[in-house]
Structure 1
Amino acid sequence: MRSIRFIMPVLLGAAISLSGCSSSTDEEKLAMANMGAQQLYERAKQSMAAGNFSNAAETLSTLDSRYPFGPLSHQVQLDLIYSYYKASKTDETLATIDRFLRLNPNHSDVDYVRYMRGLTNMDAENNLFQDLMGIDRADRDPEKSREAFNDFRKLIEEHPDSKYAADAQKRMVFIKDRLARYEIAIARFYMRRQAYVAAANRGRYVIEHYPNSDQVQQALEIMVSSYTELGLEELKQNAMKTLKLNYPDSDFIS
C-alpha cells in the first residue's frame, strides 16, 4: 500500500503536466489560426532569430499553405528551405527546394536554392556517430554525395558569377575525394575476393574520373597488384611506370 500511495501523486502530476501541454498546444494553434500573413511571418522570423528552426518551419509552412500566392510567398519559401535545413529535415528541405526550382526557374535566388540543395544532400550523408568515433565508412553507398556533386556542378555551370560558386567548387573537391575513396574501398573488396579484373577496373576508374584526388596512388597500386595476379605484364608495367613517376616513395616500387 505504501508504494501505491507514492506512485499515485506522481502519475497525477504527470497527467496534469500532459494536460497543460495539450492545452498550450491548442492555444498555440488557435493563435496562429487568427494571425494574418504579416503576423505569421514576423512570428517565423522571431523563431529563426532565436534559433528555433523547427517552430519557424512549422509557422512558415502554415503561411505558405494559407497564402501561396501572397507578396511574401517567394521569401517565405526561401526561409522555409533554410529552416527545414537547419532543423535537419532533409526530405522536407529537398521537396521545398524542388518545388521552388520547378515553379520559379528564373528567380534571382535560384543560385542560392541550388546551393542549398547541394548542402542538404551533402549533409544527408553525414553520420554524427561515425564522425565522432572516427569511423571511416568509405564503403557506404555515396548516392547523396553524387547528388550533391551534381547540384554544385549545375550551380557553377548555370551561375558562374554566383557568390556561392567558389564555396561550391571547394565542396566539389571534397566530394570527389569521397567518391574516389568509395571506389578504392570497393576495389579492395574485389581484391579480397580475388576478382582482379573488377579491382583493376575500379582503380582505372579512379585514375580517369578523379585524377586530382588523394586516392590516385592507391588506385595505381591496386592496378599493379591486379595485373600481376592476372599475368598482364604490359598493363602492369604501364601502371608501375605511372606509379614511379608520380609516387616514387610507394612501397610497391621496391
Structure 2
Amino acid sequence: MPLRSLSSSRSLAMRFTIRAVAVAMMAAPLGACGWWDDDPVYKTQATDPADLLYNQGLVFLKNQDYTKAAKRFDALDKQYPQTEWQQKAILMSAYANYSAGNYDDAITASQRYVTLYPKSPDAAYAAYLYANSQYKQIPDITRDQDRTVKALQAFQVVVTNWPKSEYADDARFKIQVTKDQLAGKEMDIGRYYQGQQNYVAAVNRYKIVVAQYQQTRQIEEALSRLAECYLALGLTSDAQTAAAILGHNYPDSQWYKDTYTLVKSNGLEPREDTESWLSRTFHSAISMD
C-alpha cells in the first residue's frame, strides 16, 4: 500500500509536545520524578495533585514511555473533570496513545477533544491526530476500506475547518493518498469481475474510478480496462471514446499504447463521442478539480 511516511506528521507532533514539555518544566521541577510505576509511593491515587499527574505524564513522554504517559493523562482527565487540566489531559492522552500505536484510544481521545473544545487553538491538532490515527490503520486493497474512508473524511475536515493550519498541507497530501487507495480497491474488484468475464460488473467499478477518483494514478488503467470491456461487450463507440480520452490526456502512457493497439486490431480508431456518459463525466470531474 503506497502510504507516505509519517515523518512530517511526527515532526509536527513533536513540536507540539516539546512546546508542552518546555512549559511544564518551567512550571514545576521534575528532578524528583522517577519511574513511578515501580515505586508504591507514586502509584496513582484518587486525589493526586493535578500538576503531579501532568508532569509525570510529560516525563514519561520525554522518555518515550508513551503507554505510561497515557495512563497518567487519563488519570488526570478522570480526577479533574471540567477543568483546564482535563482539557490538557485529553489532548496529551491522544498524542501519547498515538505515539504508542494505540490508535483506537488516540481516536477516542482526539475526537472527544474536538467535541468538547472545538474553538481551542489546539482543535486543529486534535483533528489531525484523529485523521492520522485512522490513516495508520489503512489495510491493503484486498480488505475492507472503512478505515480509508474515515481517514479521507477526517483529513477533509482538517483542510475545510483549518485550511491555513500547519497541518493542512500534509492533510491535502494524504487526501490524495487515501483517494488512490480507494480507487485501487475499485480497480481490484473490477479486475476480478473482468477476469470472470462479467464485463458489466467490471465496467461499473471502473466507472467509479472515472467519476470519483480520476486525479489518482489509477485513472489510466481504468480507461484502458473500460476500452477492453466495452470491446468485449460489442460497444465499439464507448471503447473508442475511452481510448481517445486516454490518448488525449495520457499520450505517453503504456496503458494508452496497449489500448491503441487493441482498438486498431479491431479495425477501429480512438474517437471521442462527446455526448457519451464517459466523456461528460470525465470532463466534468476535471473541471471540478
Q: TM-score range by the shorter chain?
A: 0.7 to 0.9
1:48 corresponding residue in structure 2: 61
TM-superposed deviation, 1:158: 1.3
Q: Which has the higher helix share?
A: 1
Q: Does 1:252 pair with 2:259?
A: yes
TM-superposed deviation, 1:71: 2.9
1:189 corresponding residue in structure 2: 192
TM-superposed deviation, 1:30: 5.9
1:99 corresponding residue in structure 2: 112
Q: Compared with structure 1, are the counterparts of its residues 142 and 29 closer, same or farther at alpha carbon in structure 2 (3 Å cutoff)?
A: farther
CA-atom RMSD in angstroms: 1.9
AA aligned to 1:183 is E
TM-superposed deviation, 1:138: 2.1
Distance (Å, rounded) in 2 between the aligned partners of 1:79 and 1:59: 10
Distance (Å, rounded) in 2 between the aligned partners of 1:138 and 1:39: 46
TM-superposed deviation, 1:188: 0.3
Q: Compared with structure 1, are the counterparts of its residues 25 and 154 closer, same or farther at alpha carbon in structure 2 (3 Å cutoff)?
A: closer
AA aligned to 2:214 is P
Check whether the contact 2:194–2:202 (CA below 8 A) recurs between aligned residues.
yes
Secondary structure class of the residue paired with 1:107: coil
Task: Extract unaligned runs of 5+ from structure 2.
Answer: 1-35, 262-289
Task: Extract unaligned runs of 5+ from structure 1.
Answer: 1-23, 127-136
2:226 corresponding residue in structure 1: 223
> What does residue range 137-156 of structure 1 map to in structure 2 within 5 Å?
137-156=140-159
Q: Which structure is larger by alpha-carbon Rg, 1 or 2?
A: 1
Secondary structure class of the residue paired with 1:72: helix
Moved more, 204-213 or 113-122: 204-213
> What does residue range 170-249 of structure 1 map to in structure 2 within 5 Å?
170-248=173-251, 249=254
CA displacement 1:144-172 (0-9 Å, x = unmatched): 11111111111111111111111111111
Check whether the contact 2:90–2:109 (CA below 8 A) recurs between aligned residues.
yes
AA aligned to 2:258 is D
Check whether the contact 2:37–2:43 (CA below 8 A) recurs between aligned residues.
no
AA aligned to 1:32 is T
Find 1:64's aligned residue among 77, 101, 107.
Answer: 77
Identity of aligned residues (%): 28
